[in-house]
């Protein structure tokens, strides 16, 4: 019998460790977290989280402490008489009704305060951005500067950013954990949000609402620049696409783009289409919809295909093995294999054509 009891204890211990390891497996290194705020909105949200966590911890410790004390203090012992039966205690019943109500009311106060805090427009200069949720990538348009980009949202530090959210397909959710909370992107019901970043850096954003088979591969990042760097980026984005040198590999890639890609992608200076108004339905036969992102300055972006791949341009030198080392080449070679269900409809390209297209697109800084 003692041996059986020892084995039972070890089984409980191993089971507990197994469940703990499963929970900890969800803690990915480098994942964005609301516990690392880099702006006032995220800081207010994390503040509400910590307040609720502290209250919940006090309640948990108090309740579990009383439970453990009762189990030990009033456990059955050999020769113990039957316990006295208690059929009701009005005082205790009032306490365990009033105390939880008071705790919930306190939580409600802090929650409402947090909601009003994050909903209010911060003071200061504002940058306007229209964010469009596609299946499955993000498009960003700056009305003031008349520029559009994809997958990376550039904003200046210590500046209020007003984001208007659109979708002309399904429901998405815009979330940058370290800068701002989740806001749904709903077709036919445009939402907006405000946020500000306190420091420069790059912060990962994700879609937080299931929107189809590639929902998990609908990422973007927010590049927070100092004011001079942001203005330099804006000036560069306002330029038309770089024209390749005559007779170069990139010029051959431009020709392939015009033949096979121009119907879905716009490049200012090659094909003037740059931005599709999300309020215009793409179901209209007269709508000049851009199925894919604008590629005018593709070479300056960090993500490919909504974050499913990073743009490792330093590995994209021309060569027979370019598909093995260059992520853009991998994408052009087999877009459906990398991101099944996407709208990329390109014919099978030869290695030479891939080299040419990569040379052209990576040169669009």
Q: Tell me: the pLDDT tens digits for 140-149?
A: 999 999 888 9
What is the average per-residue pLDDT within 34-62? 91
Classify strands 138-142 and 126-133 as parallel, antiparallel or unpaired.
antiparallel
pLDDT beyond 50 at 237: yes
Q: Phi/psi at 169 (nearest 5 deg)?
A: -130, -85
Cα–Cα distance between 363 and 365 in angstroms, integer? Answer: 6
Cα–Cα distance between 241 and 260 in angstroms, integer? Answer: 18
pLDDT beyond 80 at 6: no
For residue 1, what pLDDT is reported?
A: 47
What is the average per-residue pLDDT within 327-339? 92
| Fold of the domain built from segment(s) 249-362 | Cytochrome Bc1 Complex; Chain D, domain 2 (1.10.760)
Q: Where are the beta strands (DSSP E) in the chain?
A: 126-133, 138-142, 147-150, 152-156, 160-167, 172-176, 180-185, 191-195, 201-207, 219-225, 303-304, 309-310
Q: Point out the least confidently predicted range of 39-43, 108-112, 117-121.
A: 117-121
Please report the DSSP string for 290-354 in residue order. Answer: -SS---TTGGG-SEETTTTEE--GGG--SSTTHHHH-HHHHHHH-HHHHSTT-S---PPPPHHHH
For residue 131, what pLDDT is reported?
A: 93
What is the average per-residue pLDDT within 199-220? 92
Task: Decide: helix, strand or coil at residue 115.
Answer: helix
Task: Count Cα neighbours of 80 within 13 Å in the Cβ-side half-sphere.
Answer: 9
pLDDT beyond 70 at 47: yes
Q: Point out the least confidently predicted range of 6-20, 85-99, 254-268.
A: 6-20
Read off the pLDDT band of 30 (50, 70, 90): low
For residue 278, what pLDDT is reported?
A: 61
pLDDT beyond 50 at 150: yes
What is the average per-residue pLDDT within 318-339? 92
- On the question of a common fold for 126-237 and 249-362, the answer reads no
What is the average per-residue pLDDT within 28-55? 86
**CA angle (185 as vertex; 222, 233 as ends), nearest 5:** 25
CB 132 within 8 A of CB 139: yes
Sort 265 into a burial class: Cβ within 10 Å, 0-12 / 13-18 / 19+: buried
For residue 96, what pLDDT is reported?
A: 87
For residue 271, what pLDDT is reported?
A: 62
Sort 104 into a burial class: Cβ within 10 Å, 0-12 / 13-18 / 19+: exposed
CB 127 within 8 A of CB 161: yes
Could you state, in order of their start, the residue ranges of all structural domains in the chain?
126-237, 249-362
| Fold of the domain built from segment(s) 126-237 | Immunoglobulin-like (2.60.40)
pLDDT beyond 60 at 343: yes
What is the average per-residue pLDDT within 126-135? 91
pLDDT beyond 90 at 8: no
Sort 312 into a burial class: Cβ within 10 Å, 0-12 / 13-18 / 19+: middle
Read off the pLDDT band of 164 (50, 70, 90): very high
pLDDT beyond 90 at 235: yes
Q: Point out the least confidently predicted range of 68-72, 243-247, 272-276, 345-349.
A: 272-276
pLDDT beyond 70 at 279: no
What DSSP state is assigned to residue 284?
A: S
Classify strands 160-167 and 191-195 as parallel, antiparallel or unpaired.
antiparallel
Q: Return the number of other C-beta atoms located less than 10 Å from residue 5's C-beta.
A: 9
Q: Tell me: the pLDDT tens digits for 65-103?
A: 999 998 888 888 888 888 788 788 888 889 889 999 999
Cα–Cα distance between 66 and 215 in angstroms, integer? Answer: 45
Average pLDDT of the chain?
85
């Amino acid at each position: 019998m003692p041996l059986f009891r020892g084995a039972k204890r070890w089984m409980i211990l191993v089971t507990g460790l197994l469940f703990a390891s499963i929970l900890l497996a969800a803690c990915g290194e480098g994942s964005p977290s609301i516990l690392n705020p880099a702006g006032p909105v995220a800081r207010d949200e994390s503040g509400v989280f910590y307040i609720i966590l502290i209250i919940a911890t006090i309640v948990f410790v108090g309740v579990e402490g009383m439970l453990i004390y009762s189990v030990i203090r009033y456990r059955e012992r050999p020769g113990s008489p039957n316990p006295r039966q208690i059929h009701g205690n009005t005082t205790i019943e009032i306490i365990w009704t009033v105390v939880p109500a008071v705790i919930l009311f306190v939580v409600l106060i802090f929650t409402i305060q947090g909601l009003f805090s994050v909903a209010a427009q911060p003071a200061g200069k504002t940058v306007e951005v229209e964010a469009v949720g596609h299946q499955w990538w993000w498009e960003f348009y700056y009305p003031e500067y008349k520029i559009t980009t994809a997958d990376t949202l550039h904003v200046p530090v210590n500046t209020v950013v007003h984001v208007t959210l659109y979708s002309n397909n399904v429901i998405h959710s815009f979330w940058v954990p370290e800068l701002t909370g989740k806001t749904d992107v709903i077709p036919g019901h445009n939402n907006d949000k405000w946020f500000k970043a306190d420091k420069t850096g790059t912060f990962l954003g994700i879609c937080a609402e299931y929107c189809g088979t590639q929902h998990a591969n609908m990422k973007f990042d927010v590049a927070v620049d100092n004011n001079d760097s942001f203005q330099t980026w804006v000036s560069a984005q306002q330029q038309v696409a770089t024209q390749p040198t005559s007779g170069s590999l990139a010029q051959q890639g431009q020709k392939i783009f015009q033949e096979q890609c121009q119907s879905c992608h716009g490049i200012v200076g090659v094909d003037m289409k740059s931005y599709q108004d999300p309020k215009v339905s793409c179901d209209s036969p007269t709508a000049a919809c851009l199925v894919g992102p604008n590629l005018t300055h593709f070479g300056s972006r960090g993500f490919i295909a909504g974050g499913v791949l990073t743009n490792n341009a330093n590995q994209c030198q021309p060569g027979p093995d370019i598909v093995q080392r260059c992520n853009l080449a991998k994408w052009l070679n087999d877009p459906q294999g990398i991101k099944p269900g996407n709208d990329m409809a390109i014919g099978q390209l030869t290695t030479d054509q891939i080299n040419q297209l990569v040379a052209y697109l990576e040169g669009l800084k």
